[in-house]
Chains A and B, each alone.
Chain A
Amino acid sequence: MNELDKIPVRQEISVAQGGAKRTNPLANVFDELVRFCQSRSMFMLHYCTGCGAIELPPAMTSRFDMERLGIQPMVTPRQADILLITGYVSVKTLKRIILTYEQMPAPKYVIGICSCTVNGGMYWQSYATAKVLREYIPVDIYIAGCMPRPEAVISGLRDLMGDIKSGRADNWKRYFQNYDHYLGNQQQLFGEDWQTPTDIIAEAEHYGLMTDQTLGEHTALLQKHQQPLEALEFSLGEKREKIQGEER
């Protein structure tokens, strides 16, 4: 099997972050082309919370037609670029959102639609609803409204496309760079034994995105009780044993 360390990675460190300037004059042109292509082919995860999802079918289908901008729905988080949070986030849903978000490959973008993702919206005094989404995962674009019309959704997506094209949409890096902060907020809500199947610290090391904010007291707490992931045992189970028993 492949060792995780031996897989070659292309590390993107921009000039603003103190990385070396790229010497090849064509490199920047190439980067720009890549970013243009990324912004024109976005796969949106079919994962909807709350009520804002009702605005997405008209936005996706022929009336407003998001697909002409290159935005298409995708069914699995492993193949998606955009995670749309379309409404109130209950504490139970938030766990699933974080699991989903961590499974998405980078670069990944989060869009918070509706007032509920900004500040709880009309559920501001509900005991079961998480209020500020960006405390738990980094959000690239908020589209406020209760709920925003398809035009507003598409306008927000176009803003995101502009950000990707200009290279500003790199909030997914913040999750690795400030993992301690996000994990602390998650632990405050879900309890100290909160653990996701994805090893974010190892991924941050792998992508070269470790900063002094990545590790801290909360990650120390996580590492104290973290169970290493084990591969699921593959067997045909009872059915096979039954067949074998009959053969005998």
Chain B
Amino acid sequence: MSKELNLWLDDLLQDIKIIKFKRKSSRRVRIDIAPEALPALLELLQGRASYVHLSAISCVDWIEEDEFELVYHVWSYETNSLVSAHTRVPRDPGVYLSVYDLYTPAAFFERDIHEMFGLYFEGSPDMEKFILTEWNGPPPMRKDFDSEAFVNQTFSWEEYHPQWLKDIEAEGGGITTRPEDVR
């Protein structure tokens, strides 16, 4: 039964002209869609096609194209299949619409994305800090945030070959078995 439903859904989705439809496997569908049409698609999937579970919203920073890619994963318990709706929004000014009115769990994912990528969701109930409550820097998952440079600037390092070890080695002691001898 669920296989049949999937085939019907494929036919219906392929009829929509503005989306790019691709079936990845028997339980996965990828849809590429323009950002202004995405809420309408999700409304359709939720209201008419039983995709009631928003499992995640993931975000990818395509810095060379100057775009954020948002992926909405919605799951249907009737057809046991997942639809991943991909959309791309410009990095600047980095504002998009919330789908909180369709899926309440979206508030959680949108808050997380806002914190990690700095993408603001209009209409989301809470855009305050979430996990990084003690973080004052730029959104750390953006590609233009150089984590390594930040670490080198903020933290200092333990020396691997400190003076006290050199002193011991000068007296003939030190590390008896080096890692490369064991391997």
Contact = CB atoms under 8 A, between A and B. Distances in A.
Interface residues of B, number: 17
A183 B148 CA distance: 25
Contact of B140 (A118, A127, A134): A127
Contacts, number: 41
A126 B147 contact: yes
Interface string A148-180: 000000000000000000000000000000000
Interface of A: 91-92, 95, 118-120, 124-128, 130-132, 134-135, 189-190
B176 interface: no
A128 B132 contact: yes
A237 to B, nearest CB: 27
B137 A132 contact: no
B163 interface: no
Interface of B: 132-135, 137, 140, 145, 147-148, 150-151, 154-158, 160
Nearest to B148: A125
Given A125-B147, A127-B140, A132 B133 contact: no
From DSSP, what is the main secondary structure of chain B's interface residues? loop
A49 to B, nearest CB: 16
Contact of A132 (B134, B148, B158): B158
Contact of A125 (B134, B137, B151): B151
Contacts of B145: 127
A76 to B, nearest CB: 25
Given A125-B151, A127-B140, 18 more contacts: A95-B134, A118-B158, A119-B158, A119-B160, A120-B151, A120-B155, A120-B157, A124-B151, A125-B147, A125-B148, A126-B151, A127-B145, A128-B132, A128-B135, A131-B151, A131-B158, A132-B156, A134-B158
